[in-house]
Amino acid sequence: MTELIKGVTGVLVLADGTVLQGLGCGAEGAALGEVVFNTAMTGYQEILTDPSYMQQILAFTFPHVGNVGVNDEDVEQVADTGSTTAAVGAVFRDVPTAPANWRSDGDLDGWMKRRNVVGLAGIDTRALTARIRDGGAPHGVIAHNPAGVFDIPALVQQAKAWTGLVGLDLAKPASTLQAFDWDQGLWDWPEGYPRVDATDKSVVVIDYGVKRNILRALASTGAKITVVPADTAAEDILARNPDGVVLSNGPGDPAATGDYAVPEIIKLVDSGKPIFGICLGHQMLAIALGARTIKMDQGHHGANHPVKDLTTGKVEIVSMNHGFTVDRDSLPDTVQETHVSLFDGTNCGIALKDRPVFSVQHHPEASPGPTDSLYLFDRFAKMMKA
């Protein structure tokens, strides 16, 4: 049955029956997903448009969100298709503030409406974060109705009935449908994002839900970048004769996407081509090399994660966004562990001992350090030259 909740225009309903009441913002309606928290203090537009957040509701631990507004340049989806291939909902401590930044061309609330992202403000995000930390990421429904009318039992049942991300392949819907070239580089003051002239190197990026800044970082090495769909056959990739292959980030269960992706990755590894995996690409490369992945209780979502590069001893502050992890105990002897999280000791990087193949769990293109992890793109470029 529906009920009118006085003064409430938005709710977050969890599968255990918990109802968090607040003020709706963004798009009206309801969205179903896994509820996670993100500890980043900046970059909310990039976060909400990261395809790795597909089918998730994102709670921001930083209380003041919206102050720099939004713009077309900071969208991370290559194909900007709204919440269909990115976060479906957002939870804030305070109502999103008005924009005050020279790069802004709009406000967050209106932007969320246009993208069909359901928002909820006025929530104790500290308590919600503690709940997720202690009990794991719950399934939930976020709903916004200006009239304040909600069918709470139906929303609870919807959250309970959802099977979650385990076993769910989301890379195909997040991926491009056809191959395309990319020549935009990293931000350079005062021009912004410049066009980069490619050298004789070429890279094929398999798009499992790739972020624009990954493509920009690759282009800035001077390589010609070609992006191909997630289900592209290894033979078709090798027919392009690339100098290297990148396995991109993306959403969903790596084992599920691996059903069709891992056999192709194995062929690419056997070809001897340099390979660089990022996030989901890292996880599926590990599976292809004989390891396994497991679902994390809370996942890693934020821009303040310390990761140690075991090959150099360097500690870098990185951006993380993943709910699955590579089980280090399953790594075969042919694989070297190269990076570890200093928060919980989980695996954050691997490399083959006898071939130019490596991957990392974090997002080197985001680099909240701010450039702590960009050396990984240079490392890949040197592999291609060698």
**Tell me: the pLDDT tens digits for 184-233?**
999 888 888 899 988 889 999 999 999 999 999 999 999 999 999 999 99
Helices H / strands E in the chain, number of each: 10, 19
Q: What is the pLDDT of residues 236-247, one digit of tens each?
A: 999 999 999 999
Cα 175 from chain centroid? Answer: 13
Mark out the alpha helices in the chain (DSSP H runs): 44-48, 108-115, 125-135, 152-161, 171-174, 212-219, 234-238, 254-271, 280-288, 375-385
Cα 282 from chain centroid? Answer: 13
Go through the domains of the chain in sequence order and give each one's CATH number.
3-161 (3.50.30.20), 171-385 (3.40.50.880)
Whether omega before 370 lies within 30 degrees of 0, making that bond cis, reads yes
Q: Which two tokens stand for residue 120?
A: 């909820």
Q: What is the pLDDT of residues 99-130, one digit of tens each?
A: 999 999 999 999 999 999 999 999 999 999 99
**Range from 190-199, 333-342, 344-353 carrying the lowest mean pLDDT:** 190-199
What share of residues in the chain are helix, strand, coil (percent, to 5)? 25, 30, 40
- The residues near 206 (Cβ < 8 Å, ≥ 6 apart) are 228, 229, 230, 232, 237, 245, 246, 247, 248, 261, 281
pTM score of the predicted model:
0.96
Cα(169)–Cα(250) distance, rounded to whole angstroms? 10
* Residue among 238, 245, 303 at smallest CA distance from 274: 245
Contact 250, 170 (CB under 8 A): yes
Q: What is the pLDDT of residues 244-277, one digit of tens each?
A: 999 999 999 999 999 999 999 999 999 999 999 9
What is the per-residue DSSP string for 363-385? BTTT-SSSSTTTHHHHHHHHHHH
Q: What is the pLDDT of residue 199?
A: 84
- pLDDT-above-90 percentage for the chain: 91
DSSP 203: E
Residues serving a catalytic function are 279, 363, 365
